[in-house]
Structure 1
Amino acid sequence: MQTNIGIKQEFISEIAHSLSVFLADEFVLYTKTRNAHWNVEGPDFYNKHKFFEEQYEQLDEVMDDVAERIRVLGHYAPATLPEFQALTHLTGKSGSKNDGIGFITELLADHESLIIRLRQNINRFANELHDAGTSDFITGLMEKHEKMAWMLRAHLV
């Protein structure tokens, strides 16, 4: 059944695709954060292990929210590794060392990349595609990533 929520169908398709790209990015970032949690080594192991756990738990909620937003728009969320790999802007690359600073630096760069892309779409969703709801939604996502990036950045000072 077609979604009738006051947004043109071609705009809904474009918005759903953009959200699918964000979902793929969130999934890759989640996986990289899990990797950091599982594989971090060093004298600060326990603190970093717990820190990365907090971050991947937040990302798990974000992924669910993005997928549900896609469903609200009447589209299916991508949910397979090949789909995520085809859609993501992020790389699966991981640093050569398994120390906290290496993981933090890489994860911070990914969060900042995602923040920039989210910010670039806020006005596009609201003004060009006439979807204030998704514009507001990604503003909230951006703010979550800004806070997570701040927490990562604070370890590098």
Structure 2
Amino acid sequence: MQIDIGINETNRTEIADGLGRVLADSYALYLKTHNFHWNVTGPMFQTLHTMFEGQYTELATAIDEVAERIRSLGAFAPASFSAYAELSSIDEEKGVPAAKDMIAQLITGHETLIKTARSLYPICDSADDDATADLLTARIQVHEKTAWMLRSLLEG
């Protein structure tokens, strides 16, 4: 069926492709955060275990919202580990780093995701896609706040 939402097919495809990268980064960060939730040790265990749970829970909701926006634009959302590995800019952690290294990796992950999301603003602006821009703005706000909170754990 034809999609007629005021955004042409070329722009919808380009935006959906960009959102696929946001989705892949979000999923990679979700997996990393969940890994760290399960495997953190040390004197900050309780604080980090609880904090990481809140973060991966928030990311799970965000993943669904991003995927549904991709579908609203008429594209299929990437949904496999191989697709995420290809599209994501966030490095996978295969080991169990020390707690402070976990925090540092999550900061980097959130900052990477922020940059991926920001990269879509030009096409959203040119296509008058306020809905995607609003979604990206909300995601950026969450990731900036989370990165700040994580950085605060390493200061002082």
* TM-score higher than 0.5: yes
5+ residue gaps, structure 2, are none
TM-score by length of 1: 0.92
Distance 1:83 1:105 in 2: 25
How much does 1:121 deviate?
2.3
Distance 2:153 2:123 in 1: 34
Q: Is the deviation greater in 75-84 or in 111-120?
A: 111-120
Identity %: 41
How much does 1:94 deviate?
5.2
Residue 154 of structure 2 corresponds to 156
Distance 2:2 2:32 in 1: 36
Residue 25 of structure 2 corresponds to 25
| One-letter amino acid matched to 1:105 | A
Distance 2:117 2:23 in 1: 12
CA distances 1:111-149 after superposition (whole Å, capped 9, x unpaired): 1121123223224311x2331221121111111111111
Distance 1:71 1:91 in 2: 26
Match of 1:155, SS?
A: helix
Distance 2:3 2:36 in 1: 40
Q: Does 1:145 align with 2:143?
A: yes
Residue 121 of structure 1 corresponds to 120
5+ residue gaps, structure 1, are none
How much does 1:95 deviate?
6.3
Query: Equivalent residues in 2 for 1:7-46 (5 A)?
Result: 7-46=7-46
Query: Equivalent residues in 2 for 1:1-157 (5 A)?
Result: 1-93=1-93, 97=97, 99-126=98-125, 128-157=126-155
TM-score by length of 2: 0.93
List structure 1 segments (4+ residues) > 6 angstroms apart after TM superposition.
none
Distance 2:37 2:51 in 1: 8
Distance 1:76 1:124 in 2: 19
Distance 1:115 1:7 in 2: 24
Q: Retained in 2: the 8 A contact 1:123–1:135? A: no
Residue correspondences, number:
155
Distance 1:3 1:147 in 2: 36
| One-letter amino acid matched to 1:103 | M
Distance 1:81 1:139 in 2: 26
